[in-house]
C-alpha cells in the first residue's frame, strides 16, 4: 500500500493505464474472501481519496451503491448513458416489469448485473469487482463473465475482479495479477 | 426526466423530513407574507394619510409638521417589519440548516452510494436541496392559493392587525396623544368625515385582494428558496464526513 500513499492522482492513473492497458477482463488473485474484502475496500478508499470515481466503476456485494427508492431502470441510468443501450443484455433491456420495479427488492445476483451495466453505460474505463463468492455461485459467475466479456470489448473497458476462487483464474483473462499488484512500485 | 424522477421518489422515501419541512414552510410563508403585506399596507396608509391631509385646507407649516410626524411613525413600524421579517428568515434558515445536517446524517449510506458513483458532495447536496426546494415550492403554492381564495377576510384581518400594531407602537402612541392634544385643534374647524385613528391608518385596506400586493409573494418565495439552497450547500461538508464515517461500518 506504500505506493498509493506516496503517489498522487496522476501516477495512480498512469499505473491503472499501464496495468490494464488492454481492455478486457483481469483477475487479482487473493488468498481468501477476507483478503478480497480488505483489498477491495482499500482500493475504494484510495480511489475516493484521489477523486478517481469518475473513471472507475465498482461492483460490490457489501455496498452496492444502489439507490433503494429508485427503479431498476433509474439505477441502471444513474450515471447517464454515454454508451448505447444496446450493450445491455436483452433480459435487462426489455423486461419492463422488472425495470420499473423498485430496486429495494432485488437479489444480490441482480444487483451485480445492475452495478456492472450501470458502469458500462456510464462509460467507466475501469470496473473493479469484489467477488466475495456470496452473490454468485461459480456457475453464475461464469454466466456473468460471458455477458461481461462482450460488453467490456464493445466499450473498451476493463473489468478487474478480485477473487479467491482459483478455478476462475483458469478462464481466459487478459492477465492475472497477484493481490499486491497495485501496490508494487512501477 | 431522470432527475425529476429521482427528486420525487426521494421525497417519497424521506417522507418525515419533508413533512417537517412542509410544516416549517407553512409557518414561514404565513409569517413572511403577513409581515411584508403589512409593510405594504403601512406605506400605503402613509400615502393615503398624506392625500387626505392635502384635501384639508391646512397651512403649509402645519401640514409639514404633521406629515413628518406621521411619516416618522410609519417609518419606525416599517423598520420593525423589516427586522421581524429578517428574524423570521433567520429562524427559517437555522431550521433548514438543522434539517440539511440531519439529512446528511440519516442519508449517509445513500450519500456514500452517490459518492461511489462518482458524484461530488456538492452535487449530492444539490440533489437534496432540489428535493427540499420542490417541497417548499409545492407548499408555497398551496398556502398562497388558500390565502388568495380567502383574500377578502385575510386582508381585512391583516390590516386590522397592522392598524393595532401601529397604534400600539411607540411612534403610534405618541402620535395619538399629540392628535388628541395639539393636532386636534388643527382639525377643529374642518369637515373631515373621519376619526383621528382612521386618519392615521385607514380602516380598510386599499384593496381586499392580495393579488394587488404581489411583491411580498415574490420576496417570500425567493427568500425561502435561497435559504434552503444555502443551508444545503453549507451542509455539503457534512455529507462527505458522514458518508466517510458510514464506510467504516462496512
Is A5 a residue whose pLDDT tops 70? no
Note the pLDDT tens digit of each residue in B73-90: 888 888 989 999 999 999
Among the partner-chain residues B5, B10, B112, the one whose CB lies closest to the CB of A63 is: B112
Residue A125 has, within 13 A of its CA and on its CB side, a CA count of 13
Note the pLDDT tens digit of each residue in A28-53: 888 888 888 888 888 888 888 888 88
Instruction: Collect all residues of chain B within an 8 Å Cβ-Cβ radius of residue A67.
Output: 6, 110, 113-114
Is A127 a residue whose pLDDT tops 90? yes
pLDDT value at position B85?
96
pLDDT value at position A114?
92
Q: Name, of A45-54, A77-86, A155-164, B228-237, the range with top average pLDDT.
A: B228-237
Mean pLDDT, chain B, as a whole number?
84
B240 to chain A: nearest residue by CA? Answer: A48
Secondary structure class of B235 (helix, strand, coil): coil
Instruction: Collect all residues of chain A within an 8 Å Cβ-Cβ radius of residue B13.
Output: 68-69
Q: Do B116 and A78 lie within an 8 Å CB cutoff?
A: no
The CATH code of domain A23-178 reads 3.40.50.300
pLDDT value at position A43?
87
CA distance B47 to chain A (A): 55
For the record, the C-alpha cell of A98 comes out as 422488472
Contacts of B187 (CB under 8 A, 6+ apart): B56, B196
Phi-psi region of A95 (alpha: psi -120 to 50; beta: other; left: phi over 0): beta
Contacts of A58 (CB under 8 A, 6+ apart): A44, A65, A115, A119, A127, A128, A129, B116
The C-alpha atoms of residue A80 and residue A74 are separated, in whole angstroms, by 9
The C-alpha atoms of residue A71 and residue A86 are separated, in whole angstroms, by 19
Edge-first strand order for the sheet with A158-163 is: A56-59, A126-131, A158-163, A24-29, A175-178
The C-alpha atoms of residue A106 and residue B229 are separated, in whole angstroms, by 34
CA distance B11 to chain A (A): 10
Quote the percentage of chain B above a pLDDT of 90.
Answer: 43
Could you state, in order of their start, the residue ranges of all structural domains in chain A?
23-178
The C-alpha atoms of residue B87 and residue A119 are separated, in whole angstroms, by 48
Note the pLDDT tens digit of each residue in B156-193: 888 888 888 877 776 677 777 776 666 666 666 665 55
A73 to chain B: nearest residue by CA? Answer: B2
pLDDT value at position B93?
97
Is B15 a residue whose pLDDT tops 50? yes
The answer to whether A113 touches A144, Cβ cutoff 8 Å, is: yes
pLDDT value at position A24?
86
Q: What is the ipTM of this complex?
A: 0.84
Q: Is any Cβ of chain A less than 8 angstroms from the Cβ of B194?
A: no
Q: Write out B165-183 in H/E/C secondary structure.
A: HHHHCHHHHHHHHHHHHHH
Amino acid at each position: 500500500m506504500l505506493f498509493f500513499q506516496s503517489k498522487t492522482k496522476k501516477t495512480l492513473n498512469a499505473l491503472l493505464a499501464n496495468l490494464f492497458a488492454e481492455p478486457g477482463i483481469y483477475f487479482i488473485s487473493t488468498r481468501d474472501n477476507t483478503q478480497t474484502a480488505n483489498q477491495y475496500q482499500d482500493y475504494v478508499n484510495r480511489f475516493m481519496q484521489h477523486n478517481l470515481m469518475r473513471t472507475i466503476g465498482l461492483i460490490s456485494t457489501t455496498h452496492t451503491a444502489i439507490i433503494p427508492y429508485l427503479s431498476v431502470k433509474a439505477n441502471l441510468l444513474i450515471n447517464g448513458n454515454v454508451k448505447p443501450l444496446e450493450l445491455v443484455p436483452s433480459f435487462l433491456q426489455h423486461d419492463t416489469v422488472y425495470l420499473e420495479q423498485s430496486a429495494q427488492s432485488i437479489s444480490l445476483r441482480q444487483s451485480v448485473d445492475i452495478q456492472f451495466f450501470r458502469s458500462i453505460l456510464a462509460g467507466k474505463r475501469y470496473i473493479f469487482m469484489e467477488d466475495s463468492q456470496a452473490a454468485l455461485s461459480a456457475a453464475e459467475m461464469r454466466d456473468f463473465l460471458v455477458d461481461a466479456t462482450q460488453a467490456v470489448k464493445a466499450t473498451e473497458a476493463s473489468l478487474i475482479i478480485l477473487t479467491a476462487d482459483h478455478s476462475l483464474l483458469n478462464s481466459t483473462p487478459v492477465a492475472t495479477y497477484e493481490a499486491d499488484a497495485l501496490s508494487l512500485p512501477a | 426526466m431522470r432527475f425529476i424522477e429521482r427528486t420525487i421518489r426521494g421525497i417519497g422515501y424521506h417522507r418525515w423530513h419533508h413533512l417537517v419541512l412542509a410544516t416549517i414552510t407553512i409557518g414561514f410563508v404565513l409569517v413572511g407574507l403577513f409581515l411584508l403585506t403589512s409593510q405594504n399596507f403601512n406605506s400605503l396608509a402613509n400615502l393615503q394619510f398624506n392625500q387626505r391631509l392635502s384635501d384639508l385646507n391646512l397651512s403649509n407649516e402645519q401640514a409639514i409638521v404633521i406629515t413628518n410626524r406621521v411619516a416618522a411613525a410609519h417609518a419606525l413600524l416599517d423598520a420593525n417589519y423589516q427586522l421581524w421579517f429578517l428574524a423570521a428568515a433567520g429562524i427559517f434558515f437555522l431550521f433548514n440548516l438543522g434539517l440539511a445536517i440531519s439529512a446528511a446524517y440519516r442519508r449517509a449510506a445513500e450519500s456514500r452510494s452517490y459518492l461511489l458513483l462518482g458524484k461530488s458532495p456538492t452535487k449530492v447536496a444539490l440533489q437534496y436541496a432540489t428535493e427540499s426546494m420542490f417541497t417548499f415550492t409545492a407548499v408555497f403554492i398551496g398556502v398562497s392559493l388558500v390565502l388568495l381564495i380567502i383574500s377578502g377576510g385575510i386582508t381585512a384581518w391583516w390590516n386590522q392587525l397592522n392598524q393595532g400594531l401601529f397604534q400600539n407602537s411607540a411612534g403610534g402612541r405618541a402620535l395619538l396623544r399629540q392628535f388628541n392634544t395639539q393636532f386636534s385643534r388643527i382639525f377643529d374647524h374642518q369637515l373631515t368625515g373621519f376619526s383621528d385613528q382612521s386618519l392615521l391608518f385607514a380602516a380598510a385596506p386599499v384593496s381586499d385582494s392580495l393579488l394587488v400586493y404581489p411583491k411580498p409573494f415574490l420576496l417570500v418565495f425567493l427568500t425561502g428558496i435561497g435559504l434552503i439552497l444555502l443551508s444545503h450547500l453549507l451542509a455539503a461538508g457534512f455529507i462527505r464526513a458522514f458518508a466517510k464515517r458510514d464506510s467504516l461500518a462496512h
